[in-house]
A and B are shown apart, each in its own frame.
Chain A
């Protein structure tokens, strides 16, 4: 068994032989011997496995993993923003397609990134199994046999005990008693001790290796839970206007991202409705005036179809937990209520319009589509300004995030909105290229400027638009990840294992006794640490101090 290990780069702490040199980082830098692979398929496989599970490969794969993670921070990633990816590819024709082919926009699910971490984890498992087995053997067996020459260990010492039969002032114990004393002292220092014929073997710090194994096994646990999570989880987004409610069912979502094994039946039946929303902004600071300080959504929730309604607060750092699913407040904005009448005087659109805030003062993009209008479909694009103020050149800007002087500033269009061909469209974008412009600053008719309660009649008898009032809306994310707890638990056990492994010291100690020709008892002891140990010398001193307290020690004679 031991011979086969030659080409595995076990760390210093995992070599069994008590050679001092091997435990000394200064001498551990020698050229590694290159293993000659045995011929034959079996031999090759074994060689490959040995290579894969070697410390050096693990190190290389770790460094490779670090390098491979970097592109994900340089290029936009689909997991975060597929729109940014599309834009990037559009802006960089050629390079965009090549990088897309090479999965640079999906780094963390790419073949190459997955290959690296899967290899790393195979290596890890291949590393854990034999080490766990070996560690188990060591835990269940006695401390290693006593080396012949203790003085060769990195730390050692010898004490000659007084003996009245040899003419000393005090009478020390005989060899047998000294051995028992030494065993007791080592035991008190939390060593596991085995008393042998003329020696004691002791070892402590088994927990260090246990911690190391726990750490590495926990990493596997984290990976498995992450994988399970991505299979059975779902997440989705929903925009909720004041007085609206959301029922957790597929159809209710604006966006929905199921895991690979998601099943619709698993969706927790709950509902959330938005009763009121409150924003607090900084009104004192001169430098940060108007900065958002607090968002509170008053919601009514209901668990199950006929659950009791509960009023709750939903805040940014304070998600709701509904039967395992979590609801997060991730955004908010204003939804001006608008009514559009067409040329025939019929209501073609009526309701709150979700606007997208673009900056800290909630300058918001507004798009209104009225495909039911006749004779022509109508579309509006422009801005919603919570506190509108003339910037001087006739252009209005928002100067405050709260509703001081709300205003809608719109251009209007007519023509085919392109909604009839059934293609999915972004509700926040109106493609005005193929439309005729009715209102804009460039035209004589000018743009539309509306305050609440006002109505504007469109040119050419196309209809009218009224601004009825403003509502608040919130954006919520709904997440369900059954394996999330598992990730946390394994992360914490990994941390615990890491601490044990890094800060405990694994030490072996041996004590031998003999009777000198003069009839005195000679006690020798030696210490060996496995792995990094910067305090072994302190251990030597502590041990020696305890020995000297226990026994009458002869003053050392000058050694020859």
Chain B
């Protein structure tokens, strides 16, 4: 077995810290942008007022200008500043923009850190809790950036980066683990497929969790607005820069669907294949397997809820949030407190 490159391993740890600090900066700037959202809103409103009403409808619906006749989009209510498509409005949001730039920088440092760890150990960099968490955080940040290139999801920045920072902090402070080779049971090509799919699924679920929480808050605001409440709680102003609860729900659904497919193929199917190869049985109701199943069923319930009358909207959002709660539980509590075959969290005794 090739020896571990200790120098590279140290660089990996250093860059992991650097990435964590950059993300923290990005998180704070996103938060400042959120707090200053009333200024942004005033600017958007001023710009909107400057344009003529017909044009406004077009812009906000993102339809080509030479394409008028497709149905009759009802004019957006004055309250709504962003639309279903989450297109960029062209309003300057300097704090958020710097935050995005910092996130890019953070992802670069983070990518190096994760890759260096893998190269140092000559294996995939996700074989213990520390590595799993740092890799997941990287994917969350990267997916978030990827979505940013197409949709204006800056409103999600505080939430997404907050989760990324939490994951980085939990990894480096809660489960610091030096680079090492892995035990024989983990030396299988399946670790690359099985765990990476789990990481992808969890990263998507992390983002939808943020969106579903926002959806619930947004829904409350919409309700009180519909009830004619005029008291403007300035703290919630930023919600006017976030899409409606309905479109948040739709977007969360689309990402949850992808996450569900990953979860089905990753933890569930390839997990069973690998378990058969190592332990001789594809399913044995080991604690980790139980929770993988529970999570799968909860998200299946979520998908059903979306198709069940009276269960769309808030209730579906709650199911998605509960599903994410189960994921956290499966990761943090099961790994640490429940004995099972999957006890290779890599934690010191």
Contacts and interface: CB of A to CB of B under 8 A. Distances in A.
4 tightest CB-CB pairs across the interface, nearest first?
A11-B307, A288-B180, A316-B184, A328-B280
Contact of A541 (B63, B190, B291, B297): B63
Given A108-B285, A292-B183, 18 more contacts: A9-B309, A25-B246, A25-B249, A55-B309, A56-B308, A59-B308, A62-B297, A66-B297, A73-B291, A73-B334, A319-B277, A487-B282, A491-B268, A498-B260, A502-B261, A532-B250, A541-B63, A545-B67
Given A29-B310, A77-B285, A328 B67 contact: no
Contacts of B306: 11, 25, 532
Interface string B268-312: 110011001111111111110011011001101101111111111
A154 B74 CA distance: 12
A541 B261 contact: no
B301 A66 contact: yes
B93 to A, nearest CB: 26
Contacts of A330: 279-280
Nearest to A545: B67
Assign chain B's interface to a size class.
35 or more
Interface of B: 1, 3-4, 63-64, 67-71, 178, 180-181, 183-185, 187-188, 190, 246, 249-250, 253-254, 257, 260-261, 264-265, 268-269, 272-273, 276-287, 290-291, 293-294, 297-298, 300-301, 303-313, 319, 334, 338
B62 to A, nearest CB: 9
Nearest to A26: B246
Contact of A159 (B69, B178, B298): B69
Interface string A483-524: 010011001101100110011000000000000000000000
Contacts of B304: 55, 58-59, 62
Contacts of A158: 69
A235 to B, nearest CB: 7
A536 B257 CA distance: 18
Interface residues on chain A, size class: 35 or more
Nearest to A62: B301
Nearest to A71: B290
Contacts of A326: 280
A11 B308 contact: yes
Nearest to B277: A317
Given A59-B305, A284-B3, A288-B180, A73 B287 contact: yes
B171 to A, nearest CB: 17
Given A9-B309, A25-B312, A66-B294, A495 B280 contact: no
Nearest to A548: B67
A301 B308 CA distance: 56
A317 B70 contact: no
Nearest to A155: B71
Nearest to A315: B184
A534 B300 CA distance: 20
B280 A55 contact: no
Contacts of B70: 155-157, 537, 540-541, 544
23 contacts: A9-B308, A29-B313, A32-B310, A55-B307, A59-B311, A79-B285, A108-B285, A156-B71, A157-B70, A282-B181, A285-B4, A287-B180, A294-B184, A316-B184, A317-B184, A317-B185, A328-B280, A479-B280, A479-B281, A488-B272, A492-B269, A502-B303, A532-B253
A318 B185 CA distance: 10
A494 B187 CA distance: 28
Contacts of B310: 29-32, 56
Contacts, number: 185
A77 B283 CA distance: 14
A55 to B, nearest CB: 5
Nearest to B313: A29
A107 B268 CA distance: 20
A293 interface: yes
Nearest to B301: A62
Contacts of B280: 235, 319, 326, 328, 330, 477, 479
B261 A498 contact: yes
B254 A534 contact: yes
A295 interface: yes
Contact of B269 (A65, A495, A534): A495
A435 interface: no
Contact of A498 (B188, B264, B282, B311): B264
Nearest to B66: A548
A285 B184 contact: no
Contacts of B187: 294, 316-317
A451 interface: no
A80 B340 CA distance: 9
Nearest to B245: A26
A73 B333 CA distance: 11
A556 interface: yes
Contacts of A80: 284-286
